Chain A
């Protein structure tokens, strides 16, 4: 009836891998940020699944903190995207070269 923890580990790693591939392959910063959100959520799923295994809600509280960090990250990331790409006519991270050495 109840799903073993291994299935949750496998599902979370698959989602995390998909997020990693998104960050590596896509060049649109918005989709890269969304891939980062996917990775946050995979980690959250694992935290909550292990909280469920040991019946301790510390894992759930850490997942709550991860959600807060994700919100902060999304706000700052989107602010960076807006300030960086507003003057330009297109959105591509490889065109940002202000910090090249």
Chain B
């Protein structure tokens, strides 16, 4: 219970920091905090494999990608502007709607406190809920089709990124080739004259 409240405060605070930070680098740091707290929360929900995946994939891969892009885009460029408010007129009704929704949610939560059943057995042992052995077995037997679809999604992403980035790589090459071709043509012309 205590762990949930501490992690909840950390999660909400870091999420607010993520969207409110002036510079994207601070957003990345806040998001890193958010992901770490979420990984701890996954452990308390006996999703051990997903906690590890959260750290490796999100904090290790995605956030590093963000940092790379920030470094790539902001070299020699002034800090990104915060920009003017995009919701000049409707922020007041929007805030009322959001607060009403959250109040309804808290009301519903207080009315129906469905408790979590306890997990019996040693943590992480095969056959106990949330163990990595069970997760892997389900992933490669019952849930094999979604797992294969995951591979397809990653394939599409890789092809998309290559398609998007490839043009940029080939642009200087194309210019270089044009320059070489022009030089050769001039050389041939000069030879024909001489």
Contact = CB atoms under 8 A, between A and B. Distances in A.
Interface string B79-92: 01111011100000
B110 A6 contact: yes
Contact of B86 (A24, A45, A57): A24
The interface size bin for chain A is: 35 or more
B138 A81 contact: no
| Dominant secondary structure of chain A at its interface with chain B | helix
Contact of B106 (A10, A72, A81): A10
A65 B73 CA distance: 30
Contacts of A73: 157
Given A2-B115, A83-B165, 8 more contacts: A7-B109, A33-B66, A34-B66, A51-B45, A69-B153, A74-B66, A82-B73, A90-B78
19 contacts: A2-B115, A6-B109, A8-B45, A10-B109, A11-B8, A30-B70, A30-B73, A31-B18, A34-B28, A35-B19, A58-B138, A74-B66, A76-B164, A78-B69, A80-B164, A82-B73, A82-B168, A83-B167, A92-B83
Interface of A: 1-11, 13-15, 17-19, 21-22, 24-28, 30-31, 33-35, 37-38, 41, 44-45, 48-49, 51-53, 55, 57-58, 60-65, 67-76, 78-83, 85-86, 89-92, 94
